[in-house]
Amino acid sequence: MSARSARCQTGRRSSRSPRGGLIEIACDESGSEGEKLIGGNTAVFAHAGVHLSRAAAAGCIDHVRARAPSPTVEYKSGIIRRGKHREALKWMLGPAGPLLGHAHVLLIDKALFATGRLAGLLAAGPELAGFLHREGPRTFGPERWNAFLAAFTGVLRGRNGRVPATDAGPAFDVLAALCLAAPPGRLRDVLGELRRTRTDVEALLHGDRPPALPSLDPLIPAIAGAVAHWGAGGVPVSIVHDRQTLLTDERIALLKALLGPSLAGLRLVDSRTDTRIQVADLLAGAARKIAEDELRGHGDPELTALLHPYVTPASIWAPTGAPPP
């Protein structure tokens, strides 16, 4: 998404007033690979939430199926993403469809998200993450920079208690080589500061307990973002989410503890039993495909424009989440 078009993004909430002081949204994701942010199958993570009645969601699925037929029992986003079904996707995202004003999408550029976690080692914010995200690939080349990110995220990934902690040495060796190769200036200074975090990283790595909420899993901030978006007026939010192995009972309990009364509940449901989640799947999958096409330089301007109203400002997205070069 271009910096110019990003200004059109609103991610606006439904105009419906919640019943009983509670709003329930149905969520699904696309591009989830846990804490594997670099070198996976997808470059973008998308998390969608819809605020529709079951009847409205069923009507949406029926209309999409009529415009883009498929014999499959459960209609999935892979079908509507096909080029031959472009008109069905345009209808779903456009003003004639049921979603505008009743759905949101949070987009995460995984490489930028990983760089943000890297900047977090220095207690720095989005500005430094944006700087590294631009200057790292520009200075060292995308392949070498991504190899560095992969090495570092491999160290920072939360342990599951069944495997030994990763040795931080190789990642810091790569970092040392980048420091030597970097020209004098801010980038070399920042990389030097990162080298000095080794003791802290190793202390974190060899802690007694693995982190219960993975620091590199975009699903966790996505759920928190959904609650913040729909509960912006102080209304408690209840989430019905597609079944996801990463959302263990322990992590759900911790999310509830962290978000407090703003998260009224989080239930995992089989998407085959709830058409609202099926609609969220269609939106998340379509959004990820549109965003990845943009990221790779061959975006579809019409589909990108249709997606804009759904994308929340909290998205971690290079053209909108980082200062311009």
Return phi, psi of residue 285, to 5°.
-65, -40
How far is the C-alpha of 294 from the C-alpha of 144, rounded, in Å?
A: 22
pLDDT of residue 303: 95
- The segments of the chain whose pLDDT lies below 50 read 1-12, 14-17, 160-163, 320-325
Indicate the pairing of strand 263-269 with strand 237-242.
parallel
pLDDT of residue 209: 57
How far is the C-alpha of 61 from the C-alpha of 67, rounded, in Å?
A: 10
pLDDT of residue 240: 97
pLDDT of residue 205: 75
pLDDT of residue 88: 95
| Segment (H or E) for 43 | none
Contacts of 219 (CB under 8 A, 6+ apart): 29, 32, 45, 47, 244, 246, 247
pLDDT of residue 15: 41
pLDDT of residue 29: 96
Return phi, psi of residue 47, to 5°.
-130, 120
Give residue 69's identity as a one-letter amino acid code: P
Contacts of 266 (CB under 8 A, 6+ apart): 223, 238, 239, 241, 247, 252, 255, 256
Contacts of 132 (CB under 8 A, 6+ apart): 115, 118, 119, 187, 190
